[in-house]
Homo-oligomer: A and B are copies of this chain.
Amino acid sequence: MRTAVLGASGLVGRKMLTLLEDCSWLSGDPVLLTSARSAGTEISFRGRNLTCREVSAEDFAGVDLALFSAGGGTSRQWAPIAAAAGCVVVDNSSAWRMDPLVPLVVPEINGQLAKSQPGIIANPNCSTIQIVMAVSPLDKVFGVKECHVTTLQAISGAGQAAVQEILQQTRDFPEDSNSAGFFPRPMAYNVLPAIGAKTEFGGYEEETKVLHEMRRIMDRKDDLHITCTATRVPVLDGHSAAIRVVCEKAITPQKALAVLEKVPGVIVTADPHDFHTAREIAGNNDVYVGRVRQDPGCERSLLMWVVADNLLKGAAWNAVQIAGVVAGEKRR
C-alpha cells in the first residue's frame, strides 16, 4: 500500500509515521504532505530523514491510502480530491464523521465497515473512541440504556503549540498572563469545562461529538441516553473518563470484566479500587479500564474509569489500525 500522510508534521501526524514504521503492508516510503507553512520539515522514518512537501492534487495519483490529520477545513478540501484519485482516505478530522456515506470506524467495534473500501473513512473523536471501547462491548451483552460521562482531557488534544503554552504558563505561574492563547481561560493549575465551540443546549462541541459519534459507532439512536461534560485538565497526554452506564439487564463488575477482558485493545484492572492514570499509560496504544465498580444504588448500573492516550488510540493508532484493515482487504 503506497501511503501518504497529510498533516505529517503535526502531533498526530508524527505519531502516525512512528506507527507506520512497523506496518508490514506499507509499500516504500510514505509521502509526507503538509500545508505550505510546514513544507520542508524533515521527519525521521525508519532511520532516514524524509521531507514534507506542500499538498497538491498530483500527490494522490500514485497513492493507495492517505492518512489525514490536518483539520476539518483541509480535509473537506482535499479528501474528495484524494478519493477521486482512487485513494482510500482515513481522516482524523471531524469533517466527515456524521456523513451517512462515510463509515465512522473503531476497528475493534465496527471494523467490518472499513472493509467496503469507500473513498473516505472517518476516525472518531479521541474521547469517543476510548469511551466506546469500554461501553460498546457492554452494550452488546447487557443492553446499555444510559451512558453518563465526565472527561478529563489532555492538553495535547489541542496540538503541540498548546502543549508548549501550558508548560510555559506553568513555569510562569502565578505570573502567567490571562491572555489565553489556545484556551479560553488560564489553563495552568486549572480545569476548564469547555472544549471546542458552543453547541446546542448549553453544550460544547466535544460533548456533542461524544453523543452523536457514540450513537453512530454503536448503531444506536436517541434511545441511548448520553450526557457528557468534557473538561480540559493540566495533563499533557492521555484522556481520562469517569463513566456511569445503566443497562437493560442486571450487571456486576465481575460480569462486566468477563466481557471487557476479551476485547482486543482493552486492558482491565480487576480490583475495583485499582486504575491506570493518564501519565502512566501515555505512549501505549491500548484502552485501560479500571475502577469497575457497582453503582451502589442500582443493580443495572456500573461505574468505570477509562484512560487512553488521546494521540494514539484516540487518533493515530486507531487511524493506522483502520489503514491495516483496508490493506488486509486489498490484499485478498
Would A278 and B191 be within 8 Å (CB), given that A227-B297, A242-B229 are in contact?
A: yes
Q: Which of A106-152 contact B (CB under 8 A)?
A: 146, 148, 150, 152
The reply to whether B297 and A185 form a contact with Cβ atoms under 8 Å apart is: no
Query: Interface of chain A, helix or strand or loop or mixed?
Result: mixed
Q: Knowing A202-B273, A244-B227, A273-B204 touch, does A236 contact B296 (C-beta < 8 A)?
A: no
Asked if A81 is at the interface of the complex by the 8 Å CB criterion, the answer is no
Taking the nearest CB of chain B, how far is it from the CB of A152, in angstroms?
A: 5
B235 near A280 with CB under 8 A, answer no
Q: Which residues of B contact A201 (CB under 8 A)?
A: 272, 293-294, 296
Residues in B neighbouring A229, C-beta threshold 8 A: 150, 242, 291, 303, 305
Q: How far is the CA of A229 from the CA of B231 in the complex (A)?
A: 15
Judge whether A222 and B297 touch: CB under 8 Å: yes
Q: What is the count of identical protomers in the complex?
A: 2
For the complex, is A45 an interface residue (Cβ under 8 Å from B)? no
The answer on a CB contact under 8 Å between A190 and B277 is yes
Check if A298 is an interface residue, CB within 8 A of chain B: yes
Binding site for B on A (CB under 8 A): 146, 148, 150, 152, 170-171, 185-186, 189-194, 198, 201-204, 211, 222, 225-227, 229, 231, 233-236, 240, 242, 244, 253, 272-273, 275, 277-280, 290-298, 301, 303, 305
